[in-house]
Chains A and B, each alone.
Chain A
Amino acid sequence: MNITLQELTKRFPARGRKAKGETTAVDSLSFTIPDGMLVGLLGPSGCGKSTTLNMICGLETPTSGHIFFGEEDVTALPPELRGVGMVFQNYALYPHLTVMQNILFPLENLKGKARPTREQMRDRALEAARLVQIEDLLDRRPKELSGGQQQRVAIARALVKMPRVLLLDEPLSNLDARLRLQTREEICKIQKKTGITTLFVTHDQEEAMSISDRIVVMKEGVLMQQGAPQQVYDDPANLFVAKFLGTPPINVFEGEVKGGMLTLAGQKVLPVPGAPDRRVWAGVRPEGFVPAADGALTCELSRVEVLGRDVSIVCAHPACPAGTLRAILRSEHEVDPAAKQVSFALRPEKTFLFDRETEVRIPFAVPAPAGD
């Protein structure tokens, strides 16, 4: 079942006595979550992604716009009639109930024909517990569990109703780094096993990229770009998306296109056929630098960091407003740490141009790679 958001808008009254008017948390957002996919809703904090999640879940009513589950318009439905399972950032497990009672809680709310018998409830709860591998912990209370275990209980509680959609709000942010890696794989596995359409919210691009089938990038309530993680990374629609995705982040230069040539601080660095003459931001991914003795981009070398498989080269360039730029090279490339200067050629497919004012991507013809 697809989930479709159509021109979804949410405005909140401005807070504070003096403030007037409204703040727009989500601004005519439209996108579709294909059936059975794991989708990451990604953006910096305060970009409206949690509000979007709450609207899909039914905890917030949109100011305008529609939400469809399949063909059904659920915009006006209360949360319990939507068939959604939600995992809260702090898990919201009831501390006075055991794990089993927590998982049973949503089932015990069912009324009339939908209400299963006591045995059926137990069976379904056990099944959910088995799915997230917490069947040994059923008699414990939440505070006797680790963060990762609590998270699993919360997922089991969300899944036990057999929802049509699973929503996760910042599912990993309360876990420590090691658990985070493990848990995100776990979430991915559970999603694949159940095949349930899943949307999760995160501000961590690495988290979103690593497990999502698709990512949706938001900024200030507006959709920036959506697509498969690799595709969004390789083909960013604007400077924000380019800067937001990737660790280490993309290197941004102030540049100019003159006669089909990208010029950075007077150095003609890359032919960009098809790009019109104008002032641009030039973004180069850290892996977009190729060391070459006759490379067009000459930088002052500050530091070489050896990372084992890769080396990270930190250097300075006058066109770089951030001051330093970082290139990641395979460790076969020998760079003399004592050298004053280092020269690079740029890979055109790792270099993006954006309009200086609108920050929208300017396409240029990338020559077919001649083998690397």
Chain B
Amino acid sequence: MDRNSKKAWLYLLPSLILLGLFLVYPLIDVFVYSFEECFNFASQTYEGVGLYNYLYVLHDPYFLQAVENTFVLVIITVPVSTGLALLISTGLSSIQPLRNLFQTVYFLPYVTNTLAVGLVFMVLFQKTEYTDGLINLVIQLFGGESIDFINGPHWAKMFVLCFYTVWVVMPFKILVLTSALASVNPDYYKAARVDGTSRTRIFFRITLPMISPMLVYLVITGFIGAFKAYSDAVALFGTDLNAAGMNTIVGYVYDMLYGDSGGYPSYASAAAIILFVIVLTITCINLLVTRKQVRE
């Protein structure tokens, strides 16, 4: 090792130590935990090594429910929020007056506290003995039957969770897409106008390809973010998510560690590793699919 690379390693050392201590070591530790059977937290002992934790988790109805919930959440919210954000930011970039006002309004959810927003959503959607809630009043106004979205049927709860998630993740996407749209050279649009290109064709043949790198970025981070959803569900349905049938994978991991049924780091680790594998697989697929289509 020559003098220069020694120096380089020295400079890298602080961040390497921190990364190793707080990222790499826990990752490995989780991996190890997930294979240690019957781990006792108090005595720090275990009785064997094997796949039992995985088998247990994969047969746990709560975990299967959490996986189902998470997948539904991902499959619905990522396309819906990205599509809506694209629609809104396209609209925003084509208006002149009040553009800044709208931009601020659309960005507000981003700086608002998750739990506070969750509370507001609960008030809006919940049906109690005293009131049907604002949303139900609207539904009744149109002649529909009122539903308890918070403590009612599973699909209604899922609807609220998706609605809420879309609402929370959209501001950031709008922000990114508006700046992506603004960075497209206006000469492309002028050239398209001279050639008599229709608005739809301009959007699909020019605008969309131009901002596609940003869209890919949003879809990938959107997938990852939705897979890791937890606080949204807590904000709406409280901490006992298993009872509400609204748990997510991360929520399951948390419950296994600290929840009322908690104290099982081995199961939690196994579930966490499964989540990791799912996210990794989906992200790889995403990258493979998009790399073919997106070219700078």
A contact set with B: CB distance below 8 Å: 57-59, 78-81, 84-86, 88-90, 92, 94-97, 105-106, 108-110, 141, 143, 161
Contacts and interface: CB of A to CB of B under 8 A. Distances in A.
Contacts of B185: 90, 92
Contacts of A109: 195-198, 201
A94 B209 CA distance: 9
Nearest to A107: B195
Q: Sorted from nearest, which 7 A-B pairs have the closest CB atoms?
A: A80-B196, A106-B195, A92-B187, A92-B191, A96-B209, A79-B194, A86-B194
12 contacts: A78-B193, A78-B196, A80-B195, A81-B196, A84-B194, A89-B187, A92-B190, A94-B206, A96-B212, A106-B195, A109-B197, A161-B195
Nearest to B198: A109
Given A79-B196, A109-B195, 9 more contacts: A79-B193, A84-B194, A85-B194, A88-B187, A92-B190, A96-B212, A106-B195, A109-B198, A141-B295
Contacts of B201: 108-109
B210 interface: yes
A207 B194 CA distance: 25
Which of the four size classes fits the interface of chain B? 10 to 19
B260 interface: no
Contact of B191 (A81, A88, A96, A141): A88
B210 A80 contact: no
Interface in B245-270: none
A105 B195 contact: yes
Contacts of B196: 78-81, 106, 109-110
Contacts of A80: 193-196
B188 interface: yes
A110 B198 CA distance: 10
Contacts of B191: 86, 88, 92
Given A90-B185, A96-B295, A106-B195, A59 B190 contact: yes
B296 interface: yes
A88 B296 CA distance: 21
A96 B212 CA distance: 10
A90 B195 CA distance: 17
Interface string B278-293: 0000000000000000
B216 to A, nearest CB: 13
A92 B194 CA distance: 12
Contacts of B195: 80, 105-106, 109, 161
A97 B191 CA distance: 14
A57 B209 CA distance: 26
Nearest to A141: B295
A59 B296 contact: no
Contact of A94 (B188, B193, B198, B212): B188
A88 B193 CA distance: 12
B193 A59 contact: yes
A92 B190 CA distance: 9
B187 to A, nearest CB: 4
Nearest to A84: B194
A280 to B, nearest CB: 45
Interface in B196-211: 196-198, 201, 205-206, 209-210
Contacts of A143: 296
A18 B197 CA distance: 38
A105 B187 CA distance: 15
Residue among B194, B209, B296 with the highest chain A CB neighbour number at 10 A? B194
Nearest to B197: A109
A178 to B, nearest CB: 25
Contacts of A88: 187, 190-191
Residue among A59, A92, A141, A161 with the highest chain B CB neighbour number at 10 A? A92
Nearest to A102: B191
A55 B265 CA distance: 72
A59 B188 contact: no
A81 B196 CA distance: 8
A89 B194 CA distance: 14
Nearest to A161: B195
Contacts of A97: 205
Contacts of A106: 195-196
A90 B187 contact: yes
Given A88-B187, A95-B296, A58 B210 contact: no
Interface string B144-170: 000000000000000000000000000
Contacts of B206: 94
